[in-house]
Amino acid sequence: MSTIYCVSSYVMEGEYEVMGEDQDPGRSIKVLLADDHTMFRQGIAGLLAGYGGMEVVGQTDNDEGAVEVARRTKPDIVLMQVQMPISKAKENLRRIREKSPPPRVIIVTMIEDPRQVRELMELGVSAYILKSASAEHLVAAIRAAILDPKSKSVVVGMPLGLLEEAEDGSGGVLSARELEILLLTARGLSNHQIATRIYLAEGTVKRHLANIFEKMDVRSRGEATRKALLAEWITIHDVADDLGGER
């Protein structure tokens, strides 16, 4: 079982801030980009060039194409999105990792599913980064994967408590949307206020809350909040943040 290290704003602290003593300063980290959005790939390529020490050696618009491009270009890092169906993406990930030496793989995605994170980590993914993360997060993850290959796997943008629930095989793992609604509920927002804040119909918010209560085996908002705090799915700081907003 992979050890997962959840990071947020402090990802650049400690060993993730430096390039490492063993790095050859004359050799760039070779990166392959696999994403179906051309502008996103171009943006990442420009970003990595700006930071230095990294070179984009190939690009493709899907994870299946990444298998062939990786064979030709022999990258150190494959930076790829997860495309559906997930079973096919996992098979392509296995094929990429079969190369010798296997490249490190970093997933950059908008999919916030704790169970999927766990499954991909078990296949050898070095980092799972949401597209809402900062450039510093991404660069730090790339450098850590190469310069400290024995380091813990990195997940950016997801609470550790949810990932631990997924590891335990719990059936009560909340989705990212449910966690967002739970947090807004803990802040005291009504269903109508939550719906307005996250652009959902009020009925949809009610259905999400019903699912949250069922998964958490609770009967009230207060009980759900207390249980989430004890499980460290949310923190007191999360609840206190933005209390000056819509109430």
Exposed, middle or buried: residue 230 (CB in 10 Å: 0-12, 13-18, 19+)?
Answer: exposed
pLDDT tier at 2 (50, 70, 90 boundaries)? Answer: very low
Please, which residues have CB within 8 angstroms of residue 242's CB and are 6 or more apart in sequence?
187
Number of neighbours of residue 207 by Cβ within 10 angstroms:
12
What does the pLDDT average to over 71-83?
A: 90
Look at residue 3 in the predicted model and tell me its pLDDT: 38
Look at residue 72 in the predicted model and tell me its pLDDT: 93
d(CA 184, CA 21): 44
Contact yes or no for 132/207 (Cβ under 8 A): no
The tens digit of pLDDT for each residue in 204-224 reads 999 999 999 988 889 999 999
CATH class of 174-240: mainly alpha
Higher per-residue pLDDT: 227 or 192:
192
Please, which residues have CB within 8 angstroms of residue 142's CB and are 6 or more apart in sequence?
29, 31, 48, 54, 77, 79, 106, 127
What does the pLDDT average to over 65-80?
A: 93
What does the pLDDT average to over 44-50?
A: 91
Q: Which two tokens stand for residue 19?
A: 């390039």
d(CA 199, CA 148): 41
Look at residue 157 in the predicted model and tell me its pLDDT: 52
DSSP 178-200: HHHHHHHHHTT--HHHHHHHHT-
The tens digit of pLDDT for each residue in 138-191 reads 888 888 888 776 665 566 555 555 555 545 544 456 666 788 898 899 999 999
45 pLDDT higher than 90: yes
5 pLDDT higher than 70: no
Look at residue 101 in the predicted model and tell me its pLDDT: 86
Domains 4-163 and 174-240 equal at CATH topology level: no
pLDDT tier at 73 (50, 70, 90 boundaries)? Answer: very high
The tens digit of pLDDT for each residue in 80-127 reads 988 767 788 889 989 998 887 899 999 888 776 777 777 787 888 888
The tens digit of pLDDT for each residue in 82-93 reads 876 778 888 998
Beta strands, E only, 118-220: 125-130, 153-156
Overall fold of domain 4-163: Rossmann fold (3.40.50)
Domain borders along the chain are 4-163, 174-240
The tens digit of pLDDT for each residue in 230-240 reads 876 777 877 87
12 pLDDT higher than 60: no
- Amino acid letter, residue 174: L
d(CA 149, CA 156): 17
Look at residue 95 in the predicted model and tell me its pLDDT: 92
